[in-house]
Amino acid sequence: MGTDAPYPELKKTHTMARTGRPWRDVKPPPSAPVWAVIQGYGNYWVLVAAIELGVFDALQATGPTAVAPLAERLGASPPHLAALLDALVVLGLLEQVRDVYSLNETAERYLTTDGPASMAGLVAVAPGPLDNWTRLADTVRTGHPATPIERDAAGFYGPLVRATYPTQFRVAMLTGFRIGWPRTPGAPRVLDVGAGAAPWSMALLAHHPRATAVVNDLPGVIGLAEEKAAALGVTHRVELRPGDFRALAFEPQAYDLVVLGHVCRTEGEQGAPVLIRRAFDALRPGGRLLLADYFPDNTRKFNPFGVLMGTTMMASTERGFCFTHERFQEWLEGAGFRPVRLLEPISYNQVFVATRPG
């Protein structure tokens, strides 16, 4: 290659891709963030397909395996399965040595059906109705998603709350230990609003033998809580209260603990503080509210998980968004709660513990 002409003239090695526009003395930024987004779409479907094919459960059963026997076991085309497995390796979801693939710790824990914190059922349902993503620009224009989850709330929430149960049970159990729940004197009463399959009530009842819980959810969902209570042998300590929590009246000053577990963000700016005030009214003086949600940090920049969960809410709910810690603190203190603490029993799962003053 000939000698380059001196800067700032255009030269063969001085293309935009290598060094930026000739009159700028800087390299252009990499396109990696854009590619990460483009490939993120495929990455999601790689994981959905792997779960649907049973890749993780099969590798759990077989241990480290070459592609051919795994393909036979799964009824898959070997070269296509190899391409899928290689993608899972680069995504950090499998181990590979040459032709042999095995589970890594992430896959064992989160992606096998019976993993201790299985998210296998969550992957397909967590983004919400898929057509809302392809029509996101319209939603941003009009302020209304094409298929809000509220249109078939029970149909959406049933699979979701089944899938989130293992994680939320762990969050609830650890929160209970952090606040000294097992040492609560007497027979404390819990109100679990929008309980889903009731991971919060189940964990709290499991760790306090005299506690009882009023468990609320929509009629089409509450059966899941009933199943869990039966499986845990606590049916006699649970009162099921089916119905729309916006319409139900809760007894004033009757509860030691009220749980708002991942219900505030779908209620939006107007509804969330109303739920918080109603929780305050239902608590006896000295009682506590556990409010779990996904919160962007106050600058909305440093917790991508919370910010992107807010985008998911915007894409698929009638009025849902995620709200910052500061916002929740205003609502909690505005309702009269003091003090207000924030716990993070497991990563990204934060819980406000707010006390109704005695």
Ligand X SMILES: C[S@@+](CC[C@H](N)C(=O)[O-])C[C@H]1O[C@@H](n2cnc3c(N)ncnc32)[C@H](O)[C@@H]1O
Short-list 126, 123, 127, 144, CA closest to 135: 144
Q: Binding to ligand X by residue 194, rule CB under 6 A?
A: yes
Q: How far is the CB of 273 from ligand X (least distance, A)?
A: 16
Report whether 123 contacts 106 (CB < 8 A). no
Angle value at C-alpha 217, between 216 and 219, nearest 5 degrees: 120
Q: Binding to ligand X by residue 153, rule CB under 6 A?
A: yes
Interacting span for ligand X (CB under 6 A) from 21-29, 82-90, 216-224, 277-285: 216-224
Indicate the residue among 57 and 217 with the shorter CB distance to ligand X: 217
What is the b/e burial string over 147-170, where b = at least 16 CB atoms within 10 angstroms of the residue's CB? Answer: bbbeeebeebbbebbbbbbbbbbb
Q: Applying CB under 6 A, which of residues 81, 103, 161, 240 lies at the interface with ligand X? A: 161
Interacting span for ligand X (CB under 6 A) from 60-68, 195-203, 302-310, 316-324: 195-203
Q: Binding to ligand X by residue 288, rule CB under 6 A?
A: no
Indicate the residue among 60 and 319 with the shorter CB distance to ligand X: 319
Short-list 90, 95, 99, 97, CA closest to 60: 95
Indicate the residue among 55 and 292 with the shorter CB distance to ligand X: 292
Amino acid sitting at position 1: M
Q: Binding to ligand X by residue 221, rule CB under 6 A?
A: yes
Report whether 191 contacts 257 (CB < 8 A). yes
What is the b/e burial string over 87-97, where b = at least 16 CB atoms within 10 angstroms of the residue's CB? Answer: bbeeeebbbbe
Indicate the residue among 4 and 244 with the shorter CB distance to ligand X: 244
Indicate the residue among 85 and 160 with the shorter CB distance to ligand X: 160
Q: Binding to ligand X by residue 164, rule CB under 6 A?
A: yes
Q: Applying CB under 6 A, which of residues 123, 125, 206, 218 lies at the interface with ligand X? A: 218
| Residue 258 CA: distances (Å) to CA of 108, 190, 204, 353 | 34, 6, 11, 10
CA 26 to chain CA centroid, Å, is: 40
Binding mask 233-252 for ligand X (x = CB under 6 A): -----------xxx------
Q: How far is the CB of 197 from ligand X (least distance, A)?
A: 7
Binding site for ligand X (CB under 6 A): 153, 157, 161, 164, 168, 194-196, 199-200, 216-218, 221, 244-246, 261-263, 292
